Structure 1
């Protein structure tokens, strides 16, 4: 079973307007497709997160072919949820994603990331359906395979790699608001809950955070 990290490049002459709004908007740093609902009807519902100002995207997307509605959440710390109802058959690039995600023997993992004029995704499956999906790319679309690996087991999950005490420290810190902005708790507050020294909490949190960050970087193939 293969695990592919792929980047999709779209020729300027073939780039749908909706794709350009997602991947190449001057007011948006990054857009992620975090979930979707594929139905038997002609409409699908997609949930995006937008890092940046989504107002221009929302205004223009609502008037784009194949897009029936766009709804924004409140913006929190520069991030906004965007709920889009679309007709995939009228949005060819997403129709290709939909075909791939519904093909037997193939999984397109979430999130799908749009930035710098490209779309990045992680795909899991066997060789034959993977090749069929690559061969079915629309005109003007180049699918670049960045990495091929075997899908690893659950032990590769960075959270699983944490010690029991590290997981407990992170859970307590999260509950007390240590990771809020502004910070709602200190090492001393977490230490009081765990009945240990603040220096011990600091050590647990630093090691846990490093493990989790390394896991995320490895998962998305980010160069370091």
Structure 2
């Protein structure tokens, strides 16, 4: 089994109407898509994560929301959306690819600093080639890396969102994980412009994600 990791960017800039609204907000960041699936009636369900001021994020969601139903879960500096929605024609075509070629996606799919969606496809070589040939023309796909897929190996870092990677790098550079510890949550927060509470929440999620992957 092989994997290919690359980034998706629609020519129009956004996958759904809410995407476009979030892209226009400089202090709001799309972090990750944790789940995406199409239901039997053609609608779709997704869970995605956005960081920034939770009140502003929820305000944007309510203003631009076209979901059939949704739930929100607030954290300190992040909001998780569980959404049941009508997919745009663009998202519909991507879901068609998933169903037609039956490849797996390594979740979460994360957003890069410049707004592209990073995805990892897991399939055999023939299927990967067919998927590449069938990507809609109005979506730009750029390959970043490829190789043999080994669950839980050196690709563990890819399980973290872009913001979590940023926090983890800063924590390591500041000496948070040295023995004895040389930095606090506040030190890491100062290095990347977040609050100490937000850094603490990110580090707890990071540690839970990595430990669940390492310890069977």
Task: Report the TM-score range of the alignment, normalised by the length of the smaller protein.
Answer: 0.5 to 0.7
**TM norm structure 2:** 0.61
Q: Which of 125, 134, 137 does residue 135 from structure 2 map onto?
A: 137
Q: Across the two proteins, how many residue pairs are aligned to each other?
A: 164
Does the CA contact (< 8 Å) of 2:15 and 2:91 recur in 1?
no
Match of 1:27, SS state, is: coil
Deviations 1:166-191 (A, max 9, x none): xxxxxxxxxxxxxx95999xxxxxxx
Counterparts in 2 of 1:94-173, with a 5 A limit?
94-115=91-112, 116-152=114-150, 154-156=152-154
The structure 2 residue matched to 1:57, chosen from 56, 60, 73, is 60
Does residue 93 of structure 1 match 2:93? no
| Maintained 8 Å contact 2:10/2:140 | yes
Q: Is the 8 A contact 1:9 1:142 kept in 2?
A: yes
The structure with the largest alpha-carbon Rg is 1
Change (3 A) 1:141 1:60: farther
Q: Which residue of 2 is the match for residue 80 of structure 1?
A: 79
Cα deviation, 1:115-168, whole Å, max 9, x if unaligned, reads 423111111111222122222222321100011111125454769xxxxxxxxx
Distance 1:101 1:85 in 2: 18
**Following TM superposition, by how much is the alpha carbon of 1:5 offset from its aligned partner in structure 2, in angstroms?**
0.8
Contact 1:9 1:143 (C-alpha < 8 Å) held by counterparts = yes
Distance between the aligned counterparts of 2:81 and 2:14, measured in 1? 24
Structure 2 CA distance for aligned equivalents of residues 4 and 122 of structure 1: 6
**CA gap 1:93/1:119 in 2 versus in 1, 3 angstroms:** farther
The two structures have a TM-score, normalised by structure 1, of: 0.59
**Alignment partner, residue 34 of structure 1:** 34
Cα distance in 2, alignment partners of residues 183 and 51 from structure 1: 12
Q: Is there any run of 5+ residues in structure 1 with no aligned partner, and where? A: 160-179, 185-208, 216-224
Partners of 2:31 and 2:50 within 8 A in 1: yes
| TM-align CA RMSD | 3.6
Aligned equivalents of 2:34, 2:40: Cα separation in 1: 20
Mapped to 1, the partners of 2:31 and 2:79 lie a distance apart of 10
2: CA distance, partners of 1:155 / 1:117: 27
Decide whether the 8 Å contact of 2:11 with 2:139 is kept in 1.
yes
Structure 1 residues 92 and 57, CA gap change in structure 2 (3 angstroms):
farther
